[in-house]
Amino acid sequence: MFYGLWRDRLAGGTRCLMNRGRESVRSTRRRVILAPLLAVGVAAALSGCSTLEMHGYLPGFVAGQPNTTNQTQRVSDLWTGSWITLLAVGVITWAVIIWFAIVYRRRRGQTGLPVQVRYNMPIEIFYTIVPLILVLGLFAFTARDQTAIETRYQNPAVVVDAYGKQWAWDFDYKNEQVYEQGIQAQPDPKSPNYVESAIPTMYLVVNKKTEIRLRTRDVNHSFWVIDFLYKKDMIAGQTNYWDFTPTRIGSYEGKCAELCGEYHSRMLFNVKVVSQADYDAHIAELRSRGNTGLLGTKYNKDDNAGASGNQDSGVDNPADTTNGGVEGR
């Protein structure tokens, strides 16, 4: 009798081990089959993304053409990387919430409160450390890219002083000693748009190191070239700098991004990135109009010109006359 029981238990244990082995083999086979399929699916999804989708739906990117500046890819990478990280965190969070809502839901016939669990140290450490790592990581990447974008060129080939004013723009081409004085956008009586020829236009040379020195003649404004993925404030009493290299010929829209008064919406401008020959032709055209010299602070609206903290206070910065900057760019 005992022998029969022992034999049945042994056979049952053997069958159990064999079944577990088969399940393990099946599970391994599933992983071996599913992993390549998943990889192929992800690759296919990524390869099917358009240029717009690959850059996080940011403007300024055109398939088969260079980026608008040497910094737009850096901005795009930070943007899309941040969103991918946040979406991954969101998916995990939603999955955990849904899982617990389903698995630990109240069943029929259950009453009262479920067993209360407190002080699970591993979980508490996990949801404290992981968010901290994410925040520090995003901060580190942002600080790295911001430092690269904000570093000034030592000897830029093109230097333009851009003056914001209510509600238009003035451009001084420092090296060429010519200027262009703008007016606010004028409505086109024949269409719902503005008269394109009346919009102030800044000319830049493709593949040339450029520095734009940003100042305001009155209230605070913000200089924003949409396709360049960058905007920078114009603060009364301060000169801000934007150094970059335009890398694609074309015409790009710009606008003031700081609410600055009644006609803020008409404070538009264009940026034309052109060849050196076209740039020289434009400079010659400005000279032929008599736009020689620099406007400088002549039209600034300030009752205390030269006093600390007004619109003129950034003019005497030594970097304005020496084109000083950080070496290596």
For 267-312, how does the pLDDT look when each residue is reduced to its tens digit (9 = 90+)? Answer: 999 999 999 999 999 999 999 999 999 999 888 986 554 555 444 5
pLDDT at 309: 47
Q: How far apart are CA 255 and CA 258, in angstroms?
A: 9
Lowest mean pLDDT among 94-103, 187-196, 209-218: 187-196
| Full DSSP string of 212-264 | EEEEESSS-EEEEEGGGTEEEEE-TT--EEEEE-B-S-EEEEEEE-S--STTG
Q: How far apart are CA 203 and CA 205, in angstroms?
A: 7
pLDDT at 121: 87
- Where b means 16+ CB within 10 Å and e means fewer, 87-119 reads eeeeeeeeeeeeeeeeeeeeeeeeeeeeeeeee
What CATH number labels 158-316? 2.60.40.420
Residue 177 predicted with pLDDT over 90: yes
CB 198 within 8 A of CB 181: no
Statement: the pTM of the whole predicted model exceeds 0.75: no
- The arithmetic mean of pLDDT across residues 254-279, rounded, is 95
What percent of the chain has a predicted confidence (pLDDT) above 90? 57
pLDDT at 302: 64
Residue 206 predicted with pLDDT over 70: yes
pLDDT at 306: 52
pLDDT at 225: 96
Where residue 54 falls among pLDDT bands split at 50, 70, 90?
A: confident
Residue 315 predicted with pLDDT over 70: no
For 15-44, how does the pLDDT look when each residue is reduced to its tens digit (9 = 90+)? Answer: 544 444 454 445 444 444 444 545 545 444
Pick the CATH number of 57-105+118-151 from 1.20.1070, 3.90.550, 3.40.1350, 1.10.287: 1.10.287
Residue 326 predicted with pLDDT over 80: no
Say which residue, 197 or 263, is predicted with more confidence. Answer: 263
- The arithmetic mean of pLDDT across residues 313-322, rounded, is 46
Where residue 237 falls among pLDDT bands split at 50, 70, 90?
A: confident
What percent of the chain has a predicted confidence (pLDDT) above 70? 77
CB 212 within 8 A of CB 239: no
Q: What are phi and psi of 253, to 5 degrees?
A: -85, 145
What does the block give as tokens for 131? 């968010």
CB 171 within 8 A of CB 299: no
For 126-150, how does the pLDDT look when each residue is reduced to its tens digit (9 = 90+)? Answer: 889 999 999 999 999 999 999 999 9
Q: How far apart are CA 139 and CA 188, in angstroms?
A: 46
Q: Is the peptide bond before 167 cis (omega within 30 degrees of 0)?
A: yes
pLDDT at 37: 47
Lowest mean pLDDT among 112-121, 144-153, 196-205, 210-219: 112-121
CA distances from 215 to 162, 220, 308, 312 (A): 6, 9, 15, 9
Q: Residues 6 or more apart from 179 whose CB is under 8 A from it?
A: 170, 171, 172, 173, 286, 291, 293, 294, 295
Q: DSSP strand E in the chain: where?
A: 158-165, 168-173, 178-181, 201-205, 210-216, 221-225, 230-234, 240-244, 250-256, 268-274
- Residue with the two structure tokens 């829209």: 253
Measured on CA atoms in the order 300, 268, 272, 245, is the torsion positive or negative? positive
